[in-house]
Structure 1
Amino acid sequence: MSGTTIKSINVEPLNIPLLEPFTIATGSVNSARNVLITVTLQDGSRGYGECAPFPPSTGESQETALAAAQGCAELLKGRDAAHWRVLAKLMRSVFYSQTTACAGMEMALLDALTRSYGIPLYTFFGGASSFVETDMSIPIVTPERGYELAKETVERGITSIKIKVGSDLREDVERVEAIRSGAPNLPLTLDANQGYTANEALLCLEALDDHDIRPILMEQPVHKDDYEGLRYVTQHTTVPVAADESAANSAAVARLIGMGAANVVNVKLMKSGIVDALDIAALCRAHHIQLMVGAMIESRLASSMAAHLVAGLGGFSFVDLDTPMLLAEDPFTGGYEQRGGIYDLSSVKSGLGIELK
């Protein structure tokens, strides 16, 4: 029996309140209702993983993720974590709709394995860099609150802002204007979370252009299944357009690229898992599609995983890993050290470097 053989897997709920409700076009949440996975190997190495289901985006709830993670645990016990790609494929072949459960389990496996190997995860993924720099998201709020949050973001030393839009077009434009006033020098990304039609998305960009506001990116303007609508927006604006919910896996990304439907792809581990995220990154690089990384409502744990992946691979143009800053408490320590919007991974000795408080 190898030292990297899986000895035990524990699955439990992970509930963390938010500082204030977070509202996007598809819904509002006031807490992270996630799942914590702990994998222990034969040599005593312990790894942590997080499932962050968000029903409108992933079609999963905490309850379904818990059940699927328990099922994954039964599949994996007694197997060798060193075969993580094979194990990821096995989980996906059975729990193909439960992507967050598979992603959380992949995360825990890789954390445990690289702790056993004694190397940080960002080194394991290629060591292109040892830090990432995230933006800060501002949800669907009043223009006044948006202005306040923009000023706070500048004061924190964060250098770019992502604005949630996709509700009422006029209100969206007012909110973006207010945020621009609060942070006049920061680049702005718009994220509609599927909230617009193709024409509404273009109208929004036109209205902002009239106010001399040009976003650096518009993310997922239309419904995730409306590939033609996404292509229409991409072809009718010079603002780069990102696919998020439409880019659920590498097969979907291949289709988007073939259609010329997006300039940027947002890789989220909760959508694709880690093995498929590596395939998505390779696909995008080969076709000169820019890479972005994002998150669901995730704690420091899952955000660290994404940060290690992005730092290790390098070449991500847009980083949106701010959700730990939205939480009212942090049950974890380590993973990275934060300065402004920079997550510095260089002090991590092995794995994710995350510990439970």
Structure 2
Amino acid sequence: MSRTTITSVVVEPLTIPLLEPFTIATGSVNAARNVLITITLQDGSTGYGECAPLPPSTGQSQETALAAAQGCIDLLKGKDAAHWRQISHLVHSMYYAQSVVCAGIEMAVLDALTHSYGVPLYVFLGGASTNVTTDMSIPMVSPERAYELAAETAARGITCIKVKVGGDLREDVDRVEAIRNAAPNISLTLDANQGYTANEALLCLEALDNRDIRPLLLEQPVHKDDYEGLRYVTEHTTVPIAADESAANASSVARLLKMGAVNTVNIKLMKAGIVEALDIAALCRSMHVPLMIGAMIESRLAIAAAAHLAAGLGGFTFIDLDTPMLLAEDPFKGGYDQRAGTYDLSSVRSGLGIERR
């Protein structure tokens, strides 16, 4: 038995209320209903992993994630965390329908391993930079509330706002315009969360253009399986179009890029896991396709893991890792130091740097 052998795996629910309900095109949530995985190695090193199911997006729930994670306990015990790619392959082959559990396990294994090695995860993954700067999301709220949220965001020193759209076109355009009026110097991206048809997406962009508003990006305008719709939107606008829900793994990303269906890809650990995320990033880099990193409704723990990955690899054009700022409480500390929208990882000494409060 080596010092990096997994000796203990603990699975428990992780439920954290939001400051206010968060509504997107596919539904509304009022709490992060996640799962926490804690892995301990032979030398005492501990690693944390978070599974963040969002039923409308992932088809998984806290209940299914708990059951699947508990089913992995005996599978993981006795495995050597140093063989983290083998462990990833094993859990993905057996629990392929539970992507958030696979992601949480990879996160916990790599956190524990890099604690044991005495290096921060971002250094282990390449150490390209020590910080990332996130946007702030505004959900599908009234234009009046969107105006208030945008003003608050600007006052915090955050420089980019991601606006949730994908509902009624007139309401969506009015919301975006209200945000622009409240924060005229802030960059804007849009996220339709599969809510539009291809024509509706183009109508939205045209209506915004008529109001002299040009977003930096439109994310996932159509249903995740509508690759032709994505391509149609991409071919008929100069606004960059990003795949999110459509980009679940490297093979789907390869197909999208071969088709010319999108020109930006959003990597989320909860969709792909860390190993697959590395493959997607390598694929996009090889084709000079801009990268984005995003999240589900995640705590500081999973957001820290995504920040470590983005900082470690470097080269991410868009960073959407704001969800800890939406939570009413924070059961973790560490992982990064925050100044406005910037997460600074330079104070992390090993692993993710996350501790439970």
TM-score by length of 1: 1.00
Which digits, 9 at most, give the CA deviation of each residue in 1:272-329, with x for residues without a partner?
Answer: 0000000000000011111000000000000000000000000000000000000000
**Equivalence for 2:106:** 106
Q: 1: distance between equivalents of 2:90 and 2:71?
A: 12
**Equivalence for 2:337:** 337
CA positional deviation for 1:60: 0.2
Q: Decide whether the 8 Å contact of 1:72 with 1:102 is kept in 2.
A: no
Q: Decide whether the 8 Å contact of 1:269 with 1:306 is kept in 2.
A: yes
Q: 2: distance between equivalents of 1:100 and 1:199?
A: 32
Alignment of 1:249-264 (within 5 A): 249-264=249-264
> Which AA in structure 2 matches 1:289?
V
Alignment of 1:168-183 (within 5 A): 168-183=168-183
Q: 1: distance between equivalents of 2:104 and 2:320?
A: 19
Structure 2 counterpart SS, 1:11: strand
**Equivalence for 2:280:** 280
**Equivalence for 2:218:** 218
Q: Decide whether the 8 Å contact of 1:150 with 1:179 is kept in 2.
A: yes
CA positional deviation for 1:74: 1.9
Which digits, 9 at most, give the CA deviation of each residue in 1:146-179, with x for residues without a partner?
Answer: 0000000000000000000001000000000000
Structure 2 counterpart SS, 1:279: helix
**Equivalence for 1:28:** 28
Q: 2: distance between equivalents of 1:70 and 1:132?
A: 33
Structure 2 counterpart SS, 1:18: strand
Alignment of 1:78-93 (within 5 A): 78-93=78-93
- Aligned: 1:348 with 2:351: no
Structure 2 counterpart SS, 1:215: coil
Structure 1 counterpart SS, 2:153: helix
> Which AA in structure 2 matches 1:146?
A
CA positional deviation for 1:354: 0.2
Q: Decide whether the 8 Å contact of 1:142 with 1:175 is kept in 2.
A: yes
- Aligned: 1:265 with 2:265: yes
Q: 1: distance between equivalents of 2:273 and 2:247?
A: 12
> Which AA in structure 2 matches 1:117?
Y
Q: 1: distance between equivalents of 2:88 and 2:313?
A: 19
Which digits, 9 at most, give the CA deviation of each residue in 1:102-132, with x for residues without a partner?
Answer: 0000000000000000000000000000000
Alignment of 1:128-277 (within 5 A): 128-277=128-277
Q: Decide whether the 8 Å contact of 1:12 with 1:35 is kept in 2.
A: yes
**Equivalence for 2:42:** 42
Q: 2: distance between equivalents of 1:22 and 1:74?
A: 36
> Which AA in structure 1 matches 2:197?
T
Structure 1 stretches of at least 4 aligned residues deviating more than 4 Å after TM superposition: none
CA positional deviation for 1:214: 0.2
> Which AA in structure 2 matches 1:202?
L
Structure 2 counterpart SS, 1:109: helix
Q: 2: distance between equivalents of 1:73 and 1:191?
A: 36
CA positional deviation for 1:76: 1.0
- Aligned: 1:94 with 2:94: yes
Q: Decide whether the 8 Å contact of 1:99 with 1:272 is kept in 2.
A: yes
Q: Work out the percentage of aligned pairs sharing the same amino acid.
A: 77
Q: 1: distance between equivalents of 2:191 and 2:89?
A: 31
Alignment of 1:63-82 (within 5 A): 63-82=63-82
CA positional deviation for 1:71: 1.6
Q: 1: distance between equivalents of 2:88 and 2:215?
A: 37
Unaligned runs of 5+ in 1: none
CA positional deviation for 1:73: 2.0
CA positional deviation for 1:72: 1.9
Alignment of 1:304-319 (within 5 A): 304-319=304-319
**Equivalence for 1:296:** 296
Which digits, 9 at most, give the CA deviation of each residue in 1:211-266, with x for residues without a partner?
Answer: 00000000000000000000000010000000000001111001101100001000
Q: 2: distance between equivalents of 1:216 and 1:187?
A: 7
Structure 1 counterpart SS, 2:247: coil
Q: 1: distance between equivalents of 2:111 and 2:337?
A: 18
Q: Decide whether the 8 Å contact of 1:45 with 1:112 is kept in 2.
A: yes
Which digits, 9 at most, give the CA deviation of each residue in 1:62-118, with x for residues without a partner?
Answer: 000011111222211101000000000000110011000000000000000000000
Structure 1 counterpart SS, 2:72: helix
Which digits, 9 at most, give the CA deviation of each residue in 1:179-203, with x for residues without a partner?
Answer: 0001101110000000000000000
Q: 2: distance between equivalents of 1:218 and 1:268?
A: 16
Structure 2 counterpart SS, 1:37: strand
RMSD after superposition: 0.4
Unaligned runs of 5+ in 2: none
> Which AA in structure 1 matches 2:57?
S
